[in-house]
Amino acid sequence: MVQHTLRQKLAILADAAKYDASCASSGTAKKNSLGGKGIGSTEGMGICHAYAPDGRCISLLKILLTNHCIFDCHYCINRKSSNVARARFTPQEVVDLTLNFYRRNYIEGLFLSSGIVKSANHTMEQLVEVARILREEHDFRGYIHLKTIPEADAEIIHQAGLYADRVSINVELPTDTGLTRLAPDKNAGQIEGAMGRTKERILTAKDERKKFRHAPRFAPAGQSTQMIVGADDANDAAIIGKASRLYDSFGLRRVYYSAFSPIPDASAVLPLKSPPLLREHRLYQSDWLMRFYGFAPGEVADAAEADGNLPLDIDPKLAWALKFRASFPVDVNRAPRELLLRVPGLGTKAVARILAVRRHRSLRLEDVARLTASVAKVRPFICTVDWRPTLLTDRADLKGLVAPKVEQLELF
């Protein structure tokens, strides 16, 4: 076998990890290194230490322990039948890299995942070992996210949660049939079973800490998951439905969507085209609508077009407003928070500002303009003391007035 230098291994195993979307380092228990022996702190807010030209934040050292894998999932660059360079880190090498990067303030911590070698249990033990060395031998108090392997024993996964801030298990695909077809070695029941057990553990640990101050924490930043968009034929309505079920059943912090992007040496059964980034963006927007704007999953699905997919040219909130025009205009001086949140162009912050200001005086259109990013977008859907969108919401060409302009092509 070829012997790689540390730098080559890092390049191979970071390359193999980049298809995982999550890089969050926020929302965990507050801790710092005062009074300890090592380094590290987490203060609630995540920090993005760099941005790659793909616009994604680099917060954690996101690598695989190894990209050798006995599984053969079609969408995955590391599948058994893929012809990529393979490498393997020892746990100590990962520990040293993490600490060396952390000391120089390059990262918030480590996001460690792995291909499956020998067995699920063996692999999971190796991942836990890295976290153990960091926490116990180096008193590292930065952020650790461990990807857990649903096929591994519950006891080892439990160990992972004791060292990590966050654990995650990927559901991979929005439908069970997609999973059977594209990830033949994985099993939807097993994945959801593991997520269910993790949820129980997180709840139990929280409960115990209420009673005993020194009860061990278990994954204080919760659990998350990831779904690949565009590798199978599930439409947006199905994806949103699945995400909402996952939030409800497993108390997930986040469901990440990853636009399936062409991978080197791709399997022949997959669509090879540029990743559907805009679709991924619309799904994140709909995720936001459910988490922060009080939309029910069914309502978001109502905003979809006949084929069950969200429109790509306008955002889902605007799409919903255009479909349900009877709910508008909303009176910014009287409407409750829930209704204000439905207005396209009003975000949660703008709504909070409106609620604060209107305690003192009635809002005019120019006040709204000062409180929001774009009054032109909001105007057709609200009324103020001096403004009423007469007939505007009845106009058939309303979409043309509020939708973002399509960029005109250059003359050739």
Partner 1 sequence: MQNVAIASHYAVHLPAPDDFAAWRERARGLVQCDVPPDRVSWIEPGGTGDLFAVEGPARREKRLPVPPADAPSVRASKRFLEVAKSAALHSDPARFGLLYRVLWRLQRFPRLMEDKADPDVRRLEELAKAVRRDAHKMHAFVRFREVEEEDGTPHFVAWFEPDHHIIRAEAAFFMRRFANMRWSILTPRGSIHWDGETMREGPPARRSDAPSGDPVEDLWRSYYAAIFNPARLKVAAMLSEMPKKYWKNLPEAELIPQLIAGAQAREAQMVSSGSLDRGERPATLEGIDTAIHACRMCPIGELDNRAVMGEGALGAPLMIVGEQPGDHEDRAGRPFVGPAGQLLGEYLERAGIDRSQAYVTNAVKHFKFVWKGKRRLHQSPGAKEIDTCRWWLEAERNLVQPRLVLALGASAARGLLGKTVSITKARGQPMRLEDGTELWITAHPSYLLRLEGEAREEQARLFAADLAAVRERLRELAR
Q: Which two tokens stand for residue 295?
A: 């939309």
Q: How far apart are the first and last CA of the chain?
A: 53
CB 182 within 8 A of CB 269: yes
The angle subtended at Cα 21 by Cα 276 and Cα 350, nearest 5°, is 80
Q: How many CB atoms lie within 10 A of CB 119?
A: 13
Q: Does 18 bind partner 1 (CB under 8 A)?
A: yes
Which part of the chain contacts partner 1 (CB under 8 A), choosing from 6-14, 116-124, 151-159, 283-291? 6-14
Q: Which burial class, exposed, middle or buried, applies to 44 when counting CB atoms under 10 A from its CB (0-12, 13-18, 19+)?
A: exposed
Taking the complex as a whole, the smallest distance from the CB of residue 314 to partner 1 amounts, in Å, to: 20
Report which of 322, 329, 284 is spatially closest to residue 305, judged by C-alpha positions: 322
Taking the complex as a whole, the smallest distance from the CB of residue 58 to partner 1 amounts, in Å, to: 6
Q: How far apart, in whole angstroms, are the C-alpha atoms of residue 186 and residue 178?
A: 11
Taking the complex as a whole, the smallest distance from the CB of residue 196 to partner 1 amounts, in Å, to: 27
Which part of the chain contacts partner 1 (CB under 8 A), choosing from 352-360, 373-381, 395-403, 404-412? 352-360
Taking the complex as a whole, the smallest distance from the CB of residue 274 to partner 1 amounts, in Å, to: 6
Closest CB to partner 1 among 127 and 266? Answer: 266
Question: Do the strands 57-58 and 50-51 form a parallel or antiparallel pair, or are they unpaired?
Answer: antiparallel
CB 186 within 8 A of CB 240: no
Closest CB to partner 1 among 82 and 198? Answer: 82
Taking the complex as a whole, the smallest distance from the CB of residue 138 to partner 1 amounts, in Å, to: 10
Q: Does 4 bind partner 1 (CB under 8 A)?
A: no
Q: Does 302 bind partner 1 (CB under 8 A)?
A: no
Q: How far is CA 381 from the centre of its chain?
A: 30
Closest CB to partner 1 among 18 and 325? Answer: 18
Closest CB to partner 1 among 98 and 198? Answer: 98
Binding-site member from 3, 44, 83, 212 for partner 1 (CB under 8 A): 83
Q: How far apart, in whole angstroms, are the C-alpha atoms of residue 96 and residue 380?
A: 57
Q: Does 265 bind partner 1 (CB under 8 A)?
A: yes
Q: Does 267 bind partner 1 (CB under 8 A)?
A: yes
Closest CB to partner 1 among 205 and 357? Answer: 357
Q: Does 3 bind partner 1 (CB under 8 A)?
A: no
| Interaction residues for partner 1, span 354-373 (CB under 8 A) | 356-357, 359-361, 363, 367, 370-371
Whether a cis peptide bond, with omega within 30° of 0, leads into 336 is no
Q: How far apart, in whole angstroms, are the C-alpha atoms of residue 357 and residue 130?
A: 52
The angle subtended at Cα 63 by Cα 127 and Cα 264, nearest 5°, is 125
Closest CB to partner 1 among 42 and 244? Answer: 42
CB 146 within 8 A of CB 170: no
Between 224 and 263, how does the x/- string for binding to partner 1 read (CB under 8 A)?
-----------------------------------x-xxx
Q: How far apart, in whole angstroms, are the C-alpha atoms of residue 11 and residue 15?
A: 6
Binding-site member from 184, 196, 298, 404 for partner 1 (CB under 8 A): 184
Q: How far apart, in whole angstroms, are the C-alpha atoms of residue 374 and residue 393?
A: 18
Whose structure tokens read 């941005």?
A: 51
Q: Does 213 bind partner 1 (CB under 8 A)?
A: no
Q: Does 40 bind partner 1 (CB under 8 A)?
A: yes
Binding-site member from 3, 44, 54, 406 for partner 1 (CB under 8 A): 54
Q: Does 80 bind partner 1 (CB under 8 A)?
A: yes
| Interaction residues for partner 1, span 101-140 (CB under 8 A) | 101, 103-106
Q: Which two tokens stand for residue 291?
A: 């988490």
